[in-house]
Structure 1
Amino acid sequence: MISRSGSASFDLRLLVLAIALSLGSGSALAQSTAGDISGTATYASGAVVVIKGLDSGLSRSVELTPDGKFRVPSLPSGRYEVQLVRDGHALNTSQVTVLAGQTAQLNLGTEAAQATRLSTVTVSANAIPPIDVNSSETRTTFSASQLNALPVPRDIVSVATLAPGVVKGNGAFGNLPSFGGSSVAENSYYVNGFNVTNLYNNLSFGEVPFQAIDQLDVQSGGYGAQYGLSTGGVTSVNIKRGTNEWKGGVSWSTAPDWARATSPNVMRANGTTFREYDKNTKASNTYDAWLGGPLIKDKLFLFALAEFTKTSITTYGASSTSSLSNANSTTTANDLTTRSPYWVVKLDWNINDANHLEYTGFNNTDSTTYRYYNAPYVDGVTSKTTYKGDLHNKVGGLTSIVKYTGYLTEDLTLTAQWGKMDSDNSSYTVSPAGITTRYNGDINAPASGCAYTAYNGVPWGPATCAITSSVDIYGGKDQREAWRVDLDWRLGDHELGAGYSDESWSSDAGSSYSGGAYHYYYSKPSAKAPGLVMTKNFRTGGRIDIDQKAWYLEDHWQATEKLMLYGGLRNDSFNNKNGADESFVKQENIWQPRLGFSWDVMGDASFKVAGSAGRYSLPIAANVALRAATASLFVEDDSLYSAINPDGSPVLVGTKGSQGHYIINGEDGSTPDPRAVASKGLKPYVQDEYILGFQKTLRSDTVFLDNWTVGMKATYRKLRTTIDDTCDSRPFYAEAARQGVDGAWDDEWSVPAGMVGCWIYNPGSALSLSTTLDGSPRTFNVTIPSSTLGPRAMRSYQGIVLSAEKQSETYYLNASYTWSKSYGNTEGLVKSSNGQDDTGTTSDFDFPEIMVGANGYLPNDRRHAIKLYGAYKFTSEWSAGLNLLAQSGAPISCYGGGGGTLGTRFGYGAAFHVCNGEISAEGTSGRTPWLWTVSPNVIYQPSWAKGLSMQLSVINLFNNDAPTFVYEQYETISNSGRKTMYTHYKLPKYFNTPRYARLQLQYDFSL
């Protein structure tokens, strides 16, 4: 391991002290972008404390209070010299490193300074940092040195899962983390204090180059009132900054395919191949170059980094047959190439000692090309054959952040921040003949290109050129713009905080069937009878907006020398608008109280008891507006046909729709009345959390037992209110009959044209709105009681964490064991069983019958998790690290049913908790196997080449290939009563990441 200066004599103690913060946390500074220095001195009055940034030249001085205390707030992270000065003479000098969001405490009345929160230069070699007794938050902090040296995948999510109580979610959502039982769509992500979470569906965020990260904070619970928009966890990244010394570096990281294992092939019970993995390939290379230093010494600093990553992946799909006897079937393969030219620029300007201005800019554009091929399975073996075409995706863009910090007085600090994030979200396809399919978001005009055709689910047609069944909008954009102001005021024993933020989010989004239509051929024509074809037209698109405002107040009160009390109050307001710029959900005054305490039992920071209680809320994701509240078209026509045209469309026999014409979910191309979309007085998505725990430093004459810090923490989370949609039209049909207007209805399952087909509400509460009941402009005030719509939403999480950490001059070790249980009838905003990423509008609660048997163990329930990571330094040149995970499996459910199940008409195939005619409760059909990984690394820093380091990491050394999730669909029943049994039920859907090796060469230099 090497320091950022490239010194080969890296002191393991600094890394040890930084990593020892697994249960630590810090001051309540907004979004963890700055830190504090505070402490005491025993000298007489008249002395002042002077601090100077060793990296930045920033200088500040504060007076001692009558009782000998001092505090310097809101300091940029870095190294500082702290002096106690009286009559122009330095009485004591210490050095301390400040991290964002944390407070370094010093006792300047002693000969050597003591750090209670982070490593200091003066800390003794064998001492473990005293326990943080000034906060009740649950935080894990990683420094740049750790991130560059830990044997983990080089992405924020993988690092976040090192924290106790955090697990990776379903692979359908990109392995995003689940914090404390919450769904993967309930987290917030920050860069330099700016929220970079993608509010379209909460399933992505603005990533920065890994080498640009100076600090990564993972807050898994108990966070204060300054944090909102999250019922899961908060991950904060701070970018590196320039110093008074010009420093730079270059690195190359490669993960070659030849050093990578593959997941095991998946076979059905009858011996036929379901999915073949041994032909899959993946390779990546990442190149970084960076430079930082003073443009004007002590005044203006620059840090800049450029990164280029190229990733190449080949994958083969699952065989499409569901037959138990057919060994031959069809699938597709694709070659994926992603190019990621990222860059970061950070500017810091010390205007004077009381004013600091900084700018952060980064671009994270990814351009991906998928080259599709037919890849039929023949006798259980698949291979590429015909080239089908390309799919082009582009995501990401430019983010800019400007922040001002003003030290108005010694006790009053003001910060103001503005940020803007632009992100592309665009796709189009190109056929082998050069035909391009694009969709511009206009629901009145179909997507260009060729329609997609299929026969009984298998892509089919004599001359179809559609590459995928649907395409996303071409030229789609997401944009976030936000500003916030925060005040920090020290008033005696109180540290008061207040803040206000105003954010706007917009998305130009949409999707369409390729060519605007989807032809599904049920049967082939013959001399005796024509065939049957279903033609669906689906198009949605528009600009959707969210306005968000929030304010908070909080107080950290040092009630006694040993007891700190925290009280906070947050107030959020959300305004969700449809594509016509009309509000369809407006929630105001969402009150979220937060409480906490920290008790320094012995008064020496060796034994801490702490707890917190708080309420947390989420806004409605922007994607809800696209289908629920914005104009969209979803029409089905069932027709007879005699042949297929060259473009894949049917040659009709008789009129279009002669066998049935349906407007699905009321999506007839018109913008719904916003009053008819969401329930009046809709309550916010709210969760309550309670945490209680302790930490204790052990002292012993036995070397092995000495200097361990052990702890235990209990967490309870309960979902109080959720927001979802119901698509049950039967109660509205009954109301229409009562009003005498049911003549406009075909039956109770199909709403008339012009009427919304799904409605947003709080499961467990009544649905009340103004809507048409007959398709006319006339509206009716309708209230559907909760008992008619189904059960209330339920989710609870209980977790207990046992932790232990130790350090010495030559090694550090961090270990934790988590027992947890996640139980209820809703996973949250997304649904793992079918990979549904319609955030906030999953199939849950669509009908009361869907929720029969839904109560059980939820997909993110991992009963046991053991995590261990650490490092050992053998010599000044050689060191090694280890990351170990052992985790119990995920619960398995059994889904079945369809038309006619539990008295319903609509298919919803394999969405009911019904297997083989019996109710099968959620998560009660077994569990996936235990998952365990051992990932080591070795680092060589040759003394003959100062600044050079070579690192080899092997992720999942023993190639544990346990499945992480399995297919849970058991059967589907058609409207005609035909049952289809799935031969892939309980077969692996996603595996633990196979073994791969990563080699990194890095050279750091100083100018």
Structure 2
Amino acid sequence: MSRFPIVCIVLAASSASIAQSTTTGAISGRVVDAGSKEPLVGLTVTIQNEAGGDPQTTFTDSDGGYKITELVPGTYSVTFVDDTASVKKTGIRVGANDNVPVFQAMKRGDVIVLEGKAPQLKLSKTDLSIKIDKDFLLHMPLTGRTVESAAGTKAGVHNDGVGLAFSGSTALENRFLVDGIDITGLTLGNVGTPVLNNFVEEIEVLSGGYNAEWGRAIGGIVNIVTKTGTNKFQGGIFATYAPGFLAAGRQTTPANASSIDVVGDRAYSADFGVELGGPIIKDRLWFYAGLAPQFGRTDFTRVTRSQTDCRQLLPNGQLSDCDPRLITQGGHADANPDVDPVTGFFITDEIDRDVRASTSRGLSSIAKLNLAVSADHQAQLSAIVVPGQSRSPGLFGLPSSGQRSNSLTWDTAARWTSKLDDAKLELEAVLAWHHSQLRTGALDAALDAQPRQVLRNGNLATWSALGGESALTASGCTDGFGTNDRFPAVTNCPMETVPYVIGGPGAVAHDSEDRRSARFSVTRRARLVGTHEFKAGIDIDDNSKVAARLFSGGAFIENFVGPGVIDVTRWVALAPMTNGPTTDPRFDRTCTTPSTDGSAGGGEASFMCDYLPGTVGAPGTEVSGQTIDWSVYLRDSWQPVSNLTLNAGVRYEEQRLRYAEELRNKEDPLTGNRLGKTAMNLENNWAPRLGVVWDPTKVGESKVWASYGRFFEAIPMDINDRSFGGEVSYRQTFSGGGGACGPTDAAIGGPNGAGCVDTTAMADAQQLIGSSGVLVAPGIKAQYLDEIVTGAQFQLAPDLMLGITFQKRWLGRVIEDVSTDGAQTYVIANPGEWSADEERKLNARIMAASDPAVRERLQNELELYKGIRGFDKPVRDYASLELAISKRLSKGLFVQASYTFSRTEGNFPGSVSYDNGQLDPNISSQYDLIELLANRRGRLPQDRPHSMKVDAYYTFDLGKRDLMTVGARLRAVSGIPRNALGAHYLYGPDESFLLPRGQFGRTELEHSADIKLSYGRKLSRGMMAELYVDVFNLMNQQGTFDVDATYAPAVRRAFPGQGGGTSNNVNPISGGTYSDLIFAKAIDGQGVETSTPTARNPNFQRTASRYAPASAQVGFRLTF
């Protein structure tokens, strides 16, 4: 065999994701004569998976072009053969959703074998994406065991405390797929199924610029491909163990101490597993399977504390020594608890401590079959099953007030692909099912029948008699002269701001969700002024959910022991409206609430209702919701010349959100409207996608591109549960002194609230929450985001790539619930806009109405809808500039690094309400009241201007049998904006922006380093054993994750008997500055400003949570 000079050039192929699917890739290119550069027509091209299986063969067309698709992720060889020459290139890595371009210039008479490498530049792709392969997952120190821990490697992606936030969006705006199955959680939009890294072949992470095949996400897309069996039996055994003693001590965060402090520390986290794949019928049928149990325990150290009264503030600003004698006796006790002059916190002494543990168990399992009827017709069946359970004790209360949970998710799919007409026509069909369920209850099942009772405004000395505290705590908290009380002039263990929980588990989950999906696509290649690849497809999701509406014991109790007030809240169902009284015996009670009709003097409204019991399956306790999503798309990828690709596509989407089955075809007793099947139909959602890619060098060593796209949100089903499920609760308020709830319980210090649940006594006040119903603004339109991406990439060497990218994203329209009548009625709408055409239509209905009651109702609705225009339009603008460099694995070295400068500004963070912690996509409190919109414009919580990420590993060859690998991750990211928040009299804590966003700057820059050391030894041919250790946060940088932004807490913290436990609400200071805060005044229960200054939270702007301390885990792998 002779060797001759070869010219190997990488040229652009058609499109990033055309003619290959989310789980497979393609190889394409062009073959020319090395001398004349003329195309070689009819040349045979054969592609072979180096792991085995049938080869796939095609012939070059009239331009010398070829393409072979439906290649499972792996390493391939490409062989070019004609009558006189043969060239074989090996080592071509193909990933999912990849189109790897391989160009060959051939010289007659050549017979050679070359080691090839897939090009780093994906010359026809306009998306912002990275590929994470199984080698990366093995060699990098990843802080978690599932896919999310790796997907955060992508530039522009951050952990926002809920999950992965992409390019200015929130963690609830993404889409997750595994083997073509959509595993996004239906309720909130988070990750629905945890996928273990050990079972993963490849992860594709897209943060923008994606084409028409992709939709239902305005954040990012994570596309996971699991491992597949081949003609070789391959597998392994693995285990990891992270003990608590390998973690540094957690740095404390200052807090205004209550009588109970709790700190959680990991006791251990462990998993072990096995995986195996191989042939069932060689070259035809393969399998892959894996199984991995997981275990974990967290120890919560619970410390009880007492206040002190033995110090005085000295003239120099320091505290005196402790002298518990009364001032009249020459000591320092003055009947006021001691306060630290530096922090403003009460000084406390530790009484006792104990440890309460939570435990978790889980199992990750996967099974997969691949069938090749022929090289052109293939099928796949896959299933992932993940059961789990946990037990968590009560911490601020009785241990028995904790909760047990059991969960189960499974995902299964069937996929078929066919190539017809000499592979010019391709078909793909997928059927998939995602299922998830959650069951929760009390640690002791007997407590499922007891209401949960939250005690407030009391003291731990009294509540110790309930049996949850040690004898030492009971003694140390006992007050009064003549006892062992060191500080008899003060209350030792007040519980004014922290509740004490007894009884059952409270809200009980008995939920399940299902997504049944179907997808079909057709791809056609043709030549017309260059090459075209047309792709059209349709996908349909039938989403359903059954949610429980349950309180243990049928009620939830808040017992304000100090003032002697007890609130009992329960779920209720209101009788549907009829021409006369309902005849359904279920509705045998009357629920009364303040009237919301706006009539002078207020008044009350009454409804026939049913108190929903806490029994699973009882009438009215299960709410069945449904949403139908469907979309179609069409696009063309056109190459008029070999170094230019033009992509044009359009995607059409619809989403139909339906009322709960129990409400359909009934008249809403709250709004008077007759409810049909569909609550909200979001249609006419056209999403254009345009892109252009140009290679100036014409030899595949550069890429300049730009794209534009519109992306629509897929609304999660939380809105189905709450807004379209008839969610109504009934709160009754009793004065404990009136005897309605029974006599005083010595262990509580007042009546036991459980006595109020079944009392026949009249409540002092009652209110239906949700009693105004929910309206949907006529003509409402879907939420969407627009995006522009442009960039350039250069291949400086065969393994080295440098790139620069600019990304701009902005929300064009938002769906949120608003109230235009002071929280009496809620309307799901597009804040800041309502169609004039819809107004004319509603006016016409009003004029045509003959029934005065109907006319009045419609007129009232018209005024509500017109009020939508008075709200500020939601704004979220994101812009970033990214620099990236990567060194592909070569000679044992892999490096990937990026720096991103970005800005995220506006008045609407998105589906996560970071400021108050609410997770209710599209129905959050952010737009409920127009008066709360003040000061919300500014740097949003996602604003992290500077972000640097470096990932690298290197493998040292220590001889014929031994290897050592060192992996490292470096991270540095700007802190988050700091705000000043206060409580609102209707909506509670942290709803008022006292000052404009970002008034207090931002938290400090956070940086960390993680490292992995592994040693491997080859035991025999094809078998290797490996030991490794991962060290996280190597420098133990426990920086600030979040600060306490609460300036005015909902409950005033003061000395016992001096206003502690009273409300502390405040209105925004529009456009104010820090100096204005001292003038803020509290507002009363009717929203009227008083003369009382707002009480300041002593922990304001101090660290509220920190990043995890340094820790380590050890692991073992045996592969064969």
TM-score for the superposition, normalised by structure 2? 0.75
SS at match of 2:400: strand
1:1001 and 2:1116 aligned: yes
Mapped partners of 2:653, 2:517: distance in 1: 14
Mapped partners of 2:114, 2:503: distance in 1: 63
Which residue in the other structure is 2:177 paired with?
190
1:795 and 2:876 aligned: yes
SS at match of 1:313: strand
Per-residue deviation at 1:132? 2.2
- Corresponding letter in the other structure for 2:1008: T
Q: 1:957-991 deviations in whole A, cap 9, x for unaligned? A: 11110121122221133534575543333333332
- The change in CA–CA distance for 1:242 and 1:130 in structure 2 (over 3 A counts) is closer
Per-residue deviation at 1:157? 1.9
Mapped partners of 1:888, 1:468: distance in 2: 43
Q: Is the 8 A contact 2:904 2:940 kept in 1?
A: yes
Find 2:544's aligned residue among 506, 522, 530.
506
Per-residue deviation at 1:411? 1.2
SS at match of 1:874: strand
Per-residue deviation at 1:497? 1.1
- Corresponding letter in the other structure for 1:155: T
1:955 and 2:1070 aligned: no
Which residue in the other structure is 1:913 paired with?
993
Find 1:292's aligned residue among 277, 290, 294.
277
Mapped partners of 1:567, 1:478: distance in 2: 36
Find 2:438's aligned residue among 390, 400, 425.
425
Which residue in the other structure is 1:168 paired with?
159
- The change in CA–CA distance for 1:707 and 1:574 in structure 2 (over 3 A counts) is closer
Mapped partners of 1:232, 1:329: distance in 2: 47
Mapped partners of 2:506, 2:852: distance in 1: 32
Mapped partners of 1:805, 1:182: distance in 2: 25
Per-residue deviation at 1:46? 3.4
Which residue in the other structure is 2:602 paired with?
none
Structure with higher Rg: it is: 2
Query: 1:585-604 to 2 correspondence within 5 Å?
Result: 585-604=680-699
Find 1:680's aligned residue among 763, 770, 778.
778
Q: Which consecutive residues of structure 2, in runs of 5 or more, have no partner in the other structure?
A: 1-13, 34-39, 308-338, 467-499, 573-620, 665-676, 746-751, 1051-1063, 1066-1083
Q: 1:908-946 deviations in whole A, cap 9, x for unaligned? A: 3431111xxxxx012322212211110111121124564
Find 1:607's aligned residue among 702, 723, 733.
702
Q: Is the 8 A contact 2:120 2:799 kept in 1?
A: no
Of the structure 1 ranges 925-934 and 331-340, higher mean CA displacement relative to structure 2 is found in 331-340
Find 2:426's aligned residue among 413, 425, 428.
413
Per-residue deviation at 1:679? 0.9
Mapped partners of 1:653, 1:427: distance in 2: 24
Per-residue deviation at 1:789? 4.2
Of the structure 1 ranges 94-103 and 644-653, higher mean CA displacement relative to structure 2 is found in 644-653
Query: 1:304-323 to 2 correspondence within 5 Å?
Result: 304-315=289-300
Q: Is the 8 A contact 2:176 2:191 kept in 1?
A: no
Find 2:230's aligned residue among 232, 243, 246.
243
Mapped partners of 2:853, 2:262: distance in 1: 51
Mapped partners of 1:711, 1:187: distance in 2: 25
SS at match of 2:416: strand
Q: Is the 8 A contact 2:81 2:87 kept in 1?
A: yes
Of the structure 1 ranges 881-890 and 655-664, higher mean CA displacement relative to structure 2 is found in 655-664
Q: Is the 8 A contact 1:74 1:413 kept in 2?
A: no
Mapped partners of 2:570, 2:137: distance in 1: 49
- Corresponding letter in the other structure for 2:348: A
Of the structure 1 ranges 132-141 and 986-995, higher mean CA displacement relative to structure 2 is found in 986-995
Q: 1:792-818 deviations in whole A, cap 9, x for unaligned? A: 111000111011223552423221110
Of the structure 1 ranges 714-723 and 633-642, higher mean CA displacement relative to structure 2 is found in 633-642
Which residue in the other structure is 2:188 paired with?
201
Mapped partners of 2:1111, 2:567: distance in 1: 46
- Corresponding letter in the other structure for 2:767: Y
Mapped partners of 1:426, 1:130: distance in 2: 47
Query: 1:330-345 to 2 correspondence within 5 Å?
Result: 334-345=356-367
Q: 1:678-736 deviations in whole A, cap 9, x for unaligned? A: 1111110100011111112336xxxxxx9642211111100010111113424xxxxxx
Which residue in the other structure is 1:636 paired with?
731
Per-residue deviation at 1:334? 4.9
Per-residue deviation at 1:108? 3.4
Q: Is the 8 A contact 1:247 1:1004 kept in 2?
A: yes
Amino-acid identity (%): 22
Which residue in the other structure is 2:968 paired with?
882
Find 2:641's aligned residue among 539, 549, 560.
560
Which residue in the other structure is 1:402 paired with?
414
Q: 1:511-541 deviations in whole A, cap 9, x for unaligned? A: 444433233333547xxxxx33222224675
Mapped partners of 2:634, 2:521: distance in 1: 10
1:834 and 2:916 aligned: yes
- Corresponding letter in the other structure for 2:159: K
1:450 and 2:451 aligned: yes
Q: Which consecutive residues of structure 1, in runs of 5 or more, have no partner in the other structure?
A: 1-23, 113-119, 376-385, 438-447, 526-530, 700-705, 731-748, 752-756, 900-905, 915-919
Which residue in the other structure is 1:534 paired with?
567
Mapped partners of 1:191, 1:457: distance in 2: 51
Which residue in the other structure is 2:981 paired with?
895
1:931 and 2:932 aligned: no
1:847 and 2:915 aligned: no
- Corresponding letter in the other structure for 1:574: Q
Q: How many pairs does the alignment contain?
A: 891
Query: 1:436-475 to 2 correspondence within 5 Å?
Result: 436-437=447-448, 448-456=449-457, 466=502, 470-474=506-510
Per-residue deviation at 1:207? 2.1
RMSD: 3.3
Per-residue deviation at 1:389? 4.3
Find 2:1106's aligned residue among 991, 997, 1001.
991
- The change in CA–CA distance for 1:787 and 1:230 in structure 2 (over 3 A counts) is closer
Of the structure 1 ranges 328-337 and 626-635, higher mean CA displacement relative to structure 2 is found in 328-337
Per-residue deviation at 1:861? 0.9
Per-residue deviation at 1:589? 2.5
- The change in CA–CA distance for 1:358 and 1:332 in structure 2 (over 3 A counts) is farther
Query: 1:689-728 to 2 correspondence within 5 Å?
Result: 689-698=787-796, 708-728=800-820
Query: 1:858-869 to 2 correspondence within 5 Å?
Result: 858-869=940-951
Which residue in the other structure is 1:353 paired with?
375
Per-residue deviation at 1:951? 1.6
Q: Is the 8 A contact 1:856 1:922 kept in 2?
A: yes
SS at match of 2:348: coil
- Corresponding letter in the other structure for 2:710: R
Mapped partners of 1:363, 1:430: distance in 2: 25
Which residue in the other structure is 1:216 paired with?
203
Of the structure 1 ranges 985-994 and 455-464, higher mean CA displacement relative to structure 2 is found in 455-464
SS at match of 2:442: strand
Q: Is the 8 A contact 1:711 1:803 kept in 2?
A: yes
Mapped partners of 2:407, 2:1045: distance in 1: 31
Of the structure 1 ranges 627-636 and 221-230, higher mean CA displacement relative to structure 2 is found in 627-636
Mapped partners of 1:53, 1:27: distance in 2: 20
Mapped partners of 1:860, 1:696: distance in 2: 30
SS at match of 1:970: strand
1:758 and 2:826 aligned: yes
Mapped partners of 2:1095, 2:874: distance in 1: 31
Which residue in the other structure is 2:137 paired with?
147
Q: 1:442-490 deviations in whole A, cap 9, x for unaligned? A: xxxxxx323423224999977698456632323x111110010011221
- Corresponding letter in the other structure for 2:914: S
Of the structure 1 ranges 885-894 and 58-67, higher mean CA displacement relative to structure 2 is found in 58-67
Of the structure 1 ranges 286-295 and 775-784, higher mean CA displacement relative to structure 2 is found in 775-784
- Corresponding letter in the other structure for 2:982: G
Mapped partners of 2:1100, 2:302: distance in 1: 16
- The change in CA–CA distance for 1:84 and 1:831 in structure 2 (over 3 A counts) is same
Which residue in the other structure is 1:303 paired with?
288
- The change in CA–CA distance for 1:231 and 1:653 in structure 2 (over 3 A counts) is closer
- The change in CA–CA distance for 1:602 and 1:622 in structure 2 (over 3 A counts) is same
- Corresponding letter in the other structure for 1:479: D
- The change in CA–CA distance for 1:184 and 1:91 in structure 2 (over 3 A counts) is closer
